[in-house]
Amino acid sequence: MSQISSIEQLLDMYPKPNDKAQNKVLSKLDRHSITMIENCHFCILSSTDINGFTDISPKGGAPGFVKVLDQSTILIPDSSGNNRIDSLKNIVSNPKVGMMFMVKGVDEVVRLKGHATIHTEPELLALCPDGNKEPKVVVKVVVESAYFHCAKAIMRGKLWSNDFQVDRSILPSLAEIIKEQQKLGGDYVSQEQMLTYYESSL
C-alpha cells in the first residue's frame, strides 16, 4: 500500500464530514462540556517538547479535581508523581496543549485545545486539592476550542465494562519491569508492595 503523504490524498479517501460534525467545535465551554469536566475523574493532557514530539500525561482525581473557573478557563492540579515534570517543562517552552476528559458511564468524551500556564498563587492552589493537600503548582488552561467526540471509540473498546479486563498478573510489578529494562539488581518487589507504596503517596 502506498504511503499517504498529502492532505489531498486523505480528502480523496474520506467523505466530507456532515455539517453537524464540521460545525461542532466551540470557542469556549458550553454547559454540557462544563458538566463533563466537573464530573471528570480522569483526563489526558498532551503537550509538545522542545524537539516537537508530543508527550501525553494521564491526570486523575475525584470528580471535581479539575476546576472550571469560567467558560474559557480551567485549572488542573499537578498531583504528586515521579518528578520528571515532562509536561510542565514542555508548557514553559510551548504553552499549546490538548486535553481529553472522560467520565465513567458516559461514552462520549470532551476534547479541547488551549494555552497553558503554570501558577503557584495560594488562591489557585487552594481550589485544586491534591488528595488532602495543596499541589505545588496548578496548570491554568485558557480554552481556544472544545467539542464533544462521539462514543464509538469508547464503545469499541468497551472501556466502562469488564469485557476486556485482564488479570494484573500478565505483567510483573512496575518496579520489576523497570529493574529489567535498566538491568538493575535489588530485592524482588511484588505488585502488592507497589500498591502499598502507591496508596501511601497519593
Nearest to 114 by CA among 140, 87, 149: 140
Q: What is the DSSP string of the chain?
A: -PPP-SHHHHHHHSPPPPHHHHT--BSS--HHHHHHHHH-SEEEEEEE-TTSPEEEEEEE-STT-SEEEETTEEEEE-----S--HHHHHHHH--EEEEEEE-TT---EEEEEEEEEEE--HHHHTTS-BTTB--S-EEEEEEEEEEEEPSHHHHHHTTTSSTT---GGGS--HHHHHHHHTT-------HHHHHHHHHHT-
Burial class (CB in 10 A: 0-12, 13-18, 19+), 78: buried
* Maximum Cα–Cα distance across the chain: 60
Mean pLDDT is lowest, of 1-5, 29-33, 115-119, for: 1-5
CA–CA distance, 12 with 16 (Å, rounded to integer)? 9
pLDDT for residue 55: 96
- Residue 134 confidence (pLDDT): 83
Structural fold of domain 7-157: Pnp Oxidase; Chain A (2.30.110)
3-state secondary structure 114-145: EEEEEECCHHHHCCCCECCECCCCEEEEEEEE
pLDDT band for position 199 (50/70/90)? confident
In 136-150, which positions are buried (b, 16+ CB within 10 angstroms) versus exposed (e)? Answer: ebbbbbbbbebbbee
pLDDT tens digit sequence for 174-191: 999 999 999 999 889 899
Each residue of 142-182: pLDDT tens digit?
999 999 999 999 999 999 999 999 999 999 999 999 999 99
CB within 8 Å of 91: residues ≥ 6 apart = 47, 97, 116, 117, 118, 139
Grid cell digits, residue 19: 455539517
Q: With 60 as the cut, is the pLDDT of residue 1 above it?
A: no
| pLDDT at residue number 79 | 86
Annotated domain spans of the chain: 7-157, 168-200
pTM exceeds 0.85 for this model = yes
pLDDT value of residue 81: 81
